[in-house]
Amino acid sequence: MSKKTVIGKIGPSVLNSDLANLHDESLRLLDCGADYLHLDVMDGHFVPNITFGHPVVKCLRTKIKDAFFETHMMVSNPLQWIEPMSSAGVDQYTFHVEPIEDIPYACRKVREAGMKVGLAIKPATPVEILESYVDLADTVLIMTVEPGFGGQKFMDDMMPKVRWLRNNYPSLDIEVDGGVGLNTIQNCAEAGANMIVSGTAVIAAENPSKVIATMREIVNSEITKKNIF
């Protein structure tokens, strides 16, 4: 993993938006200041729900040329979708390590396909399992709810995982996903998270621009305090 500048980034989860108007909703979020779009892909096996796959992502990319797309692959066979998602225009392919036998191989295939590598773990998975693989990744995603459903309560007991990562890998992009909003962003930022996935708190806000800007400001303030550059 190369040395890089750590900055606060807010990536709304489009899953919480009006999926019948996915293009318009995505543009709205970007216009409100989103740094990237977090696209939740669920297969009905790794998690109970089904969302959308590479054809939808490809259609979205044809309409939105420049935004950074991260797909969060909540799927049983992440290797199966690397090439289709690359062809669809995905920038970062974040997959769960739990169903993968050969994590270095999966990371290599993602990078060979021209995408950044994200490694995700569920709440029950110990963060130390990633120790051998962090250097292969651009981002580590700590789930702060059980994957598969929106609107769950934030799990504050996941913050020690974030702290462990920040202490051991100061320049790593650390992402949190699940129940993150104005009431929980401070905990995430203090623990060391700099990439913030937020669904309902942004989508349903009266002023999404203000919510995004406030969360980014809180994260960057903590980055400055910790001298993470």
Q: Per-10-residue mean pLDDT for the chain, 229 residues long? A: 79 93 97 98 95 97 97 98 98 98 98 98 97 97 89 92 97 96 98 96 96 98 83
Q: Looking at residue 207, what is its pLDDT?
A: 98
pLDDT for residue 229: 55
Q: Please write down the long-range contacts of 107-116, taking CB distance under 8 Å and 24 or more positions apart.
A: 107/133, 107/136, 107/137, 108/136, 109/79, 109/82, 110/82, 113/82, 113/83, 113/85, 113/86, 114/86, 115/82, 115/85, 115/86, 115/90, 115/91, 116/91, 116/92
Question: What is the assigned CATH class of domain 9-225?
Answer: alpha beta
Which pLDDT value is given to residue 165?
Answer: 98
- What's the pLDDT at 178? 94
Question: What is the pLDDT, as a whole number, of residue 3?
Answer: 56
> What per-residue confidence (pLDDT) applies to 1?
46
Active site residues: 40, 177
